[in-house]
Homo-oligomer: A and B are copies of this chain.
Amino acid sequence: MNAGVRSPTLHDVAREAGVSLATASRSLNGSARKVNDAYRERVQAAAARLGYTPNLSAQAVAKGSTMTVALVVGDISDPYFSSIAAGVIGAAEESGFIVTMAVTARDSERELALVRALRGQRPRVLILAGSRTSDEPSQQALVAELTAFESTGGRVVVISQHELPFDTVLLDNYGGARRLAAELVGLGYRRFAVISGVPSLLTSRDRVLGFLDGLAEHDLTVPADRIVHTEFTRDGGFAGAVELLEHGIDDVELVFAVNDVMAVGAMSALREAGRIPGESIAVAGFDDIPTVRDITPALTTVQIPLIDVGRHAVELALAPRTAGGTEIPVETTVVIRESTPARK
């Protein structure tokens, strides 16, 4: 009931079983069958009797390596990240890895500090799921830190864009947005507004670029005052829509928000202003987080197989190291739903 009893150690088990430390170690963890069955059983029985659990930290220092995957996300309560995390955790556990998690709160200073701290865990793998930003001076420090980590045997996997010189799970943000634009034009839409994240956010930038290029193919453009920059969150989406409404968007037919949570926030703002999503105005998002098929109207979006993205990240990390850094491209597919009905 009260503390004070220490956890049984391998030493205890060995004594209980009447064998040496080495034999105990080999019976419980050592790979190949190099231990007499009789001994092995004695040891296992003793371990069970004592409730022995190997001290992972001790194993880590003795072996010089851990079985942990460190995952860095922007915000775990965001469905985008939590879905990726689910994939990472699932795949990691299947391979016997433990996953530790840290949250950057979308702050790149903080991300750098976290990576530095996480290095202390000597994880075998470090996965960065937060989206990259451009022009940050801290990016350079981050690369240095990650490179140092790799040079000591760690594996780095970045999810999203291939800005950093590491293995990456590449999301086709640009292409997905471009195809989305094409499909929307095909549905009859001509006048658009865009709710974007801050320009330095690469994911956001790529999606906006792809969308605009997709429109440009059909000789359509979006006036600069119809592209607002805001936070990459639900509230950002809401605020972005409010800003657009203030600019006056009576003739806008469709609002593209660069991710689903923003789109959902935007829908609420539009609705509050009397514009009915899916009826008097269309809305599209990006990601296909689980809930958007259940909202009304169901949201048109670009699907990313988020769980798979997480799984791929660990597969990549556990695969043999390659020369220039491998990349696994992940397809994005346009999903048209009721929020963008065909016009006319």
Name which of A119-127, A178-186, A200-208 contacts chain B.
A119-127
A282 within 8 A of B: no
Given that A51-B148, A121-B57, A150-B3 are contacting pairs, would A77 and B85 also be in contact in the complex, using a CB cutoff of 8 Å? yes
Set B51, B76, B294: member contacting A85, Cβ < 8 A: B76
- Give the complex CA separation of A13 and B90 in angstroms: 38
A31 within 8 A of B: no
- Give the complex CA separation of A143 and B66 in angstroms: 28
Chain B residues whose C-beta falls within 8 Å of the C-beta of A75 in the assembled complex:
86
Please name the residue on chain B nearest to A4 by beta carbon.
Answer: B153
Chain B residues whose C-beta falls within 8 Å of the C-beta of A90 in the assembled complex:
103
Set B56, B101, B321: member contacting A101, Cβ < 8 A: B101
A157 within 8 A of B: no
Chain B residues whose C-beta falls within 8 Å of the C-beta of A2 in the assembled complex:
151, 321
Chain B residues whose C-beta falls within 8 Å of the C-beta of A3 in the assembled complex:
150-153, 321
A45 within 8 A of B: no
Nearest Cβ distance between residue A298 and chain B, in whole angstroms?
8
A38 within 8 A of B: no
On whether the beta carbons of B77 and A122 are closer than 8 Å, the reply is no
Chain B residues whose C-beta falls within 8 Å of the C-beta of A291 in the assembled complex:
264, 291, 295
On whether the beta carbons of B121 and A103 are closer than 8 Å, the reply is no
A222 within 8 A of B: no
A134 within 8 A of B: no
- Give the complex CA separation of A103 and B153 in angstroms: 28
A218 within 8 A of B: no
- How many residues of A are counted as interface, with CB atoms below 8 angstroms from the partner's CB atoms? 63
On whether the beta carbons of A56 and B4 are closer than 8 Å, the reply is no
Nearest Cβ distance between residue A81 and chain B, in whole angstroms?
8
Set B77, B82, B120: member contacting A53, Cβ < 8 A: B120
- Give the complex CA separation of A3 and B149 in angstroms: 9
Give residues 256-300 of A contacting B (CB, 8 Å): 264-265, 267-268, 271, 290-291, 293-297
On whether the beta carbons of B76 and A79 are closer than 8 Å, the reply is no
On whether the beta carbons of A121 and B148 are closer than 8 Å, the reply is no
A95 within 8 A of B: no
On whether the beta carbons of A150 and B76 are closer than 8 Å, the reply is no
Set B120, B152, B290: member contacting A56, Cβ < 8 A: B120
- Give the complex CA separation of A268 and B337 in angstroms: 14
On whether the beta carbons of B294 and A294 are closer than 8 Å, the reply is no
A209 within 8 A of B: no
On whether the beta carbons of A77 and B66 are closer than 8 Å, the reply is no
On whether the beta carbons of B61 and A58 are closer than 8 Å, the reply is yes
On whether the beta carbons of A265 and B294 are closer than 8 Å, the reply is yes
A102 within 8 A of B: yes
Nearest Cβ distance between residue A14 and chain B, in whole angstroms?
18
On whether the beta carbons of A234 and B7 are closer than 8 Å, the reply is no
Set B79, B119, B295: member contacting A77, Cβ < 8 A: B79
Q: A-B pairs with the 4 shortest C-beta distances?
A: A57-B60, A3-B153, A82-B82, A77-B86
- Other than the known A5-B152, A101-B101, A264-B291, what 13 A-B pairs have Cβ atoms closer than 8 Å? A1-B150, A53-B117, A56-B57, A57-B61, A75-B86, A76-B76, A76-B86, A85-B101, A93-B102, A93-B103, A98-B102, A99-B100, A268-B294
